[in-house]
Amino acid sequence: MTTTPSTPANQPPAHGALARPPQQAPGLIQGLRSLVATPLNALLTVLALAIAWFLLRPAIEFLFIDAVWSGHDRAACLAGEAGGETGACWPYIARRLGYFIYGQYPEAQRWRPNAAMALCALNIGWALWPRAPFRGAALFSFVLPFPVIAWILLYGPGFSGLVAVPSNLWGGVLVTLVISIVGIVVSLPLGVLLALGRRSQMPVVCAASTVFIEVMRGVPLLAVLFMANRMLPLFLPPGVLPDPLVRVMVGVSLFAAAGMAEVIRGGLQALPKGQYEAAAALGLGYWQMMFTVILPQALTLVIPGIVNTFISLFKDTTLVTVVGIFDLLTTIDVSSRDPAWATPVTASTGYAFAAIFYFICCYAMSRYSAAMERRLAAAGSRS
Amino acid sequence: MKAGKPVRTYGQGRGPAIAWWGNPAARALIWQALLAIAVISLFVWAGRNVVTNLRASHITWGFGFLAEPASFDITGSLIPFRAGDSYGRALMAGFGNTLTASLTAIVIATALGFVVGVARLSNNALVARSASAYVEVLRNTPLLLQLLVWYNVVLKALPGPRQSIALPGGLLLNNRGLYGPWPVESPGWNAVGAGLLTALGLCIGLAAWSARRRREGKAALTLWAIAPAVLICLPLAAAWLTAGSLVGALPVTWPELRGFNVGGGVTLLPEFVALVLGLSLYTSAFIAEIVRSGVQAVPKGQREAGRALGLGEGPILRLIVIPQALRLIIPPLTGQYLNLTKNSSLAVAIGYPDLVSIGAGPVLQNTGQALEVISLIMLIYLGLSLLTALLMNWWNARMALAER
Amino acid sequence: MKRAPVLMAMTCGVIAAAANGAPASAGVLDQVKQRGELICGSNPGLAGFGVPDDKGKWTGFDVDYCRAISAAIFGDPDKVKYVPLTAKDRFTALQTGEIDVLVRNTTWTMTGDTAVGASFTSINFYDQQAFMVRARLGVKSALELNGAEICVQRGTTNELNLADFFRAHKMDYKPVAFGSAAETVRAYDAHRCDVFTSDSSALYAERLRMTNPAENIVLPERISREPFAAAVRKGDGQWFDVVRWVGFGLVAAEEAGITKANVEEKRASDNPELRRMLGVDGKLGSGIGLPNEWLVNIVRAVGNYGEIYERNLGENSRLKIPRGQNNLWNKGGLMYAPPIR
């Protein structure tokens, strides 16, 4: 079953891994000179400019120059004076922003998702900021207390005194975030267990982990989601019916756990053997050795990999739209069918908005991951 | 808990005997047995639930439906499918489409990825920066979104069938697809096919032979010069021998406007174009990163050594840098190819009839055999992944051996 | 290494315990009553049948059917949870018991009743499949569509009828099939196809959303019968009867002239038929596990069949679909309810 060759090398290279340009930022003059240094270079410069012009010009025209910036309904975004199509229809986004962020979450209760998102941002900031104190505690709080508090805030179960908001009213960015954060919170510990299992000396444990990991990595997420969303209830006893949102979370988490396991396994393999031997020499038991010596080092080594897994998880949540969960992309799709706003550019505007949202989030995360990688490399070269 | 163990093992036989649960081997056995029991009982439990649930909704389990005739049509599949063919064939047609789209996209993504990856290392700042902007934008937006955008762009940018754009070589382009000439089944073309296969076999044989000669230090053929000639001449000669002339022997249908649409020739659907475009652009960004880090990982000293030997920049790249970089590049490249193939299932969002959209669409809908269809789809993808992984492992082993 | 199996075993144990704790499979009606909520599989967005309004509240013809069932059980039309389902997902959702009833313009077919594990109750809308083309094309009949590219939603009866129609007339066509209605309409609107085919009610509804609604015409041919019916999971006779008689009750109420406005007044009438229907005499309601005044509750909440029709699809709506076959049997239509006695 172990068909993948040396796995760390098999990972896609980290986002921005070694992403530094070949030389550290050359001066402006020097940079300009490099553009025309040789005939070949001059030709390449012209070529690059031409490609950029052909690709960027329509995008800029659509997003800014031809865009409509104010209006109350579709009339504003229908064909302009010249009869041609207009660019992006921004008033539609402005009018629907609340729906895109919260879905049908009751307006009076929207402070709750806001509070949950703020808590989440604080917690992640604490865990990821390299100089913050007690970062281990931050990680722990993100995996245990935070999800519970967030769930109480968002769902409002009976004992909390909050108005219950069932999950079929959640939508938009809120659902995108909930699915990806649950995905990471579940897949991290599960990934650790699976990675340890795959490296285990016990044949049954190793085989079980390997089969799970390879099966999950061998099938498309879409098939896993179909399975989780529609088939899961078939595998449960009659009458046991998890919430649809929970079902896709199960699918996404299991899928992400397999990827996470491989990242962590890379970290475990990268640790020098001496670490294991030293821990054994101290007489530590297996779990003591893992938790006090091996895992802290291995996990630190693969922080960039973990962030990258999260980035792909975050991007992959868009697939839930295919199984009918109201994530950001679905809310955009549904709103574009509103007769009040239906124009030839409504759908494109929605997609542009989603693209910008995803790009900002993912790019920020990939920059962080690259920075961490540089820190790790620097720390490695010092020692 | 194991702290005192070495001492105790020393003193075995006397004093308090070590309990059986203190023995690591026994404990390992017990834990494994427990895990096995847990996994097996989980499967049994789920299986029994499936049986109960299916019985409650009066559905019979089985794959008999695959042989039954279906009553829908599929456009643009490599394996032709019409209403009346079996559900099994519908799945085959979908699988054929998945393979076609994935293979095409893999070729394009690899080519693009290598170009962009090398461009990122260019000492021309503009080229390097443009390439890295390309990588960042494509890598940091969801593929599904990119596919939807490309599909919209493709449909919007192209004219209707009556205003088709005529391209050189008899190609026609409009928002119903890209149309081109296509051979009509005839003895001449069959001869060409046979000739092509023979020529390919001949080339592979020659390559193996000259590789052996070269290893033995004897004079060998330069295959680059011979192969194209063989590949072109042999099929043509075969056709000429079969039919007596070349012009009439190789009939071709040309696309032309008939009624509503362009008919004749061969069609690439806009859905196919958008899917391949989206998949290859997205994956090329990842491949570019693999290529860049692979090339950067080749130590500087290697280039310097090459220069010291008096080699030019071209030979240094071709003989020293690329062979070494390739060894680093190929394993992660496999991963990207597999990802691309799995991602092709997103075709369901833009109406391209791939395995998932045929399987989870009309086949599942009209038979009601949800569990069977979805498991079949998962098995097919799994088989594909394992096969690719095996092939790449084999290739990887060869590359690694060549090192010594 | 040691705790992993323990965790696994514990998880299994918890799942098994949860399974044992689940209530023994009771009838759907009892489950709904116990839950205090009806779970209704609905359309994720089709004007007239099921769309969210400005505040995200579901409205439409099918939605009113769900509300009627809720009113019959609870006396309150709003105890419904809507689960929007794509055509792909609808039967699986019914099979797995995720929804209690499927009211989602779903065509009653024999396969639906047999292979798919659904039981169709009573027809609530008679529809027919038709073709829409751009007027500019100059096509007057579906028989002129030889060689056309046709947008159709994947996994629907429309896809099958389309194949049958072209095969029967020995014509050629190219289907362009999409997973959701939204994508299908969008592709037709972007001129990907020459023709868009769907149920005629849906054609009228989707036309409202197109760039230039007036540019598109519906061809006169009707290529299939599409009787829409509410479906329940096979094997629960009592629940089947409840859903079926809610449908019949709506039609019977229209025939008897009971409306939202006059239901209280009719209740006081001496007419023995009305007294029986409205639960003043006899115990017809409790016979199938509903309150005796079930029909009163329904009509008070959503009106009779005709009122639901006019509000969502007919003259009082933006769709303005004529009653046609959906009129009462004694007014030239097909709507007929067995006697309530």
Quick: pLDDT tens for C189-229. 888 999 999 999 889 888 877 877 888 999 999 999 999 99
Amino acid identity of residue C45, one-letter, is: G
- What string of pLDDT tens digits covers the 383 residues of chain A? 333 333 343 444 444 444 444 444 556 677 677 777 777 788 888 888 888 888 888 888 888 888 888 888 777 887 654 456 778 889 888 888 888 999 888 888 899 999 999 999 898 888 878 787 887 788 788 888 888 899 999 988 878 888 888 888 888 999 999 999 999 899 999 999 999 999 888 899 999 999 999 999 999 999 999 888 878 888 988 777 788 899 999 999 999 999 999 999 988 988 888 888 888 888 888 888 888 888 888 888 888 888 889 999 999 999 998 888 889 998 888 777 676 777 778 888 999 999 999 999 999 999 988 888 888 888 766 54
Q: Are B136 and A363 in contact (CB under 8 A)?
A: yes
Distances from the Cα of A246 to the Cα of A216, A229, A241, angstroms: 19, 9, 10
Q: β-pairing, B256-258 with C51-52?
A: unpaired
**Token output for B60:** 């019979």
Partners of A238 on chain C (C-beta within 8 Å) are 22, 25, 97
Beta bridge partners of A72: none
Assess B243–A contact: CB distance below 8 Å, yes or no.
Answer: no
Strands C195-199 and C148-153, by their bridges, are parallel
The answer to whether C2 contacts A286, with C-beta atoms less than 8 Å apart, is: yes
Contact between A342 and C1 using a beta-carbon 8 Å cutoff: no
Residue C341 forms beta bridges with which residues? none
Under 8 Å CB-to-CB from C253, ≥6 apart: which residues?
Answer: C259, C277, C295, C298, C299, C304, C305
Going by C-alpha positions, the residue among C319, C193, C321, C306 that lies closest to residue C256 is C306
- Tell me the C-alpha to C-alpha distance, in Å, between residue B90 and each of A46, A364, B51, B365, C243: 49, 44, 27, 13, 36
- The answer to whether A282 faces chain B, any CB pair under 8 Å, is no
pLDDT of residue B23: 76
Smallest CA-to-CA distance from C152 within C166, C140, C141 is with C166
**Do C31 and A238 count as a contact with CB atoms less than 8 A apart?**
no
Residue C322 in tokens: 């004529």
What ipTM goes with this model? 0.85
User: How many Cβ atoms sit within 10 Å of the Cβ of residue C209?
Assistant: 20
A-contacting residues of B 156-215, CB under 8 Å? Answer: none
User: Which of C87, C117, C154 is opposite residue B357, by nearest beta carbon?
Assistant: C154
The reply to whether B386 touches chain A by the CB within 8 Å rule is: yes
Amino acid at B66: L
* Residue C277, amino acid: M
Task: Give the separation between CA C290 and CA A235, rounded to whole angstroms.
Answer: 32
**Which contacts qualify for B170-176: CB closer than 8 Å, 24 or more apart?**
B170/B254, B170/B255, B170/B265, B171/B255, B172/B255, B172/B262, B172/B265, B174/B262, B175/B270, B175/C190, B175/C191, B175/C192, B176/B261, B176/B262, B176/B267, B176/B269, B176/B270, B176/C149, B176/C192
Write out pLDDT tens, residues C239-273.
999 999 999 999 999 999 999 999 999 998 899 98
What is the SS3 assignment for A106?
Answer: coil
The answer to which of A77-81, B308-312, C47-51 has the lowest mean pLDDT is: A77-81
| pLDDT number for residue A39 | 79
Bridge partners of residue C217, in order along the sequence? C133
Q: What does the alpha-carbon distance between residue C80 and residue C76 come to, in Å, rounded to a whole number?
A: 9
- How many angstroms separate the CA atoms of B223 and B210, rounded? 8
The β-bridge relationship of strands C58-59 and C51-52 is: antiparallel
Nearest CA in chain A to B40: A208
Which of these, B170, B180, B174, lies nearest to B162 by C-alpha position? B174
Nearest 10 degrees: Cα torsion A112, A114, A118, A124: 90
Report the residue from C4, C22, C83 with minimal CB separation from A239.
Answer: C22
Q: What residues of chain A lie within 8 A of the CB of C84, using their CB?
A: 324
Residue in A196, A240, A333 closest to C22 by CB? A240
CA distances from B387 to A48, A242, A351, B392, C128 (A): 39, 36, 36, 9, 48
Structure confidence at residue C256 (pLDDT): 93
Q: For residue C58, list its beta bridge partners.
A: C52
Name every chain B residue with its beta carbon within 8 A of the beta carbon of A348: 149, 152
Q: Name the CA radius of gyration of chain B, rounded.
A: 29
pLDDT of residue C54: 60
A208–B332 C-beta distance less than 8 A: no
Longest dimension (CA), chain C: 80
Which range among A351-355, C5-9, C92-96 shows the weakest confidence by mean pLDDT?
C5-9
Taking residue A151's Cβ as centre, other Cβ atoms within 10 Å add up to 15
Contacts of C98 in chain B (CB under 8 A): none
Minimum-distance CB partner of A286 among C1, C31, C93: C1
Asked if B351 and C146 come within 8 Å (Cβ–Cβ), the reply is no
- The pTM of the full predicted model, rounded to 2 decimals, is 0.83
Any chains having at least 3 CB pairs less than 8 A from chain A are B, C
Question: Of C194, C117, C179, C79, whose CA–CA distance to C148 is shortest?
Answer: C194
* Residue A7 near residue A262, CB atoms below 8 Å: yes
Q: Which of residues 107-126 of B touch A (CB under 8 A)?
A: 121-126
**Chains contacting B (3 or more CB pairs within 8 Å):** A, C
Tokens 């059986």 correspond to B20
Q: Are B148 and B156 in contact (CB under 8 A)?
A: no
State in Å, rounded, how far the first CA of chain C is from the last one.
70
Q: How confident is the model at residue B224 (pLDDT cuts 50, 70, 90)?
A: confident
SS3 content of chain B, % helix, strand, coil (to 5): 70, 5, 25
C143 at the B interface (CB within 8 A)? no
Helices (H), chain C: 3-21, 28-35, 61-74, 90-95, 110-113, 157-168, 181-189, 200-207, 237-255, 263-267, 272-277, 284-287, 294-302, 305-312
> Model confidence at B39, in pLDDT bands (50, 70, 90)?
very high
Helix (H) or strand (E) holding C225: strand C224-233
Does pLDDT of C6 surpass 60? no
State the pLDDT at residue B297. Answer: 87
Q: What DSSP string describes B291-304?
A: HHHHHHHS-HHHHH
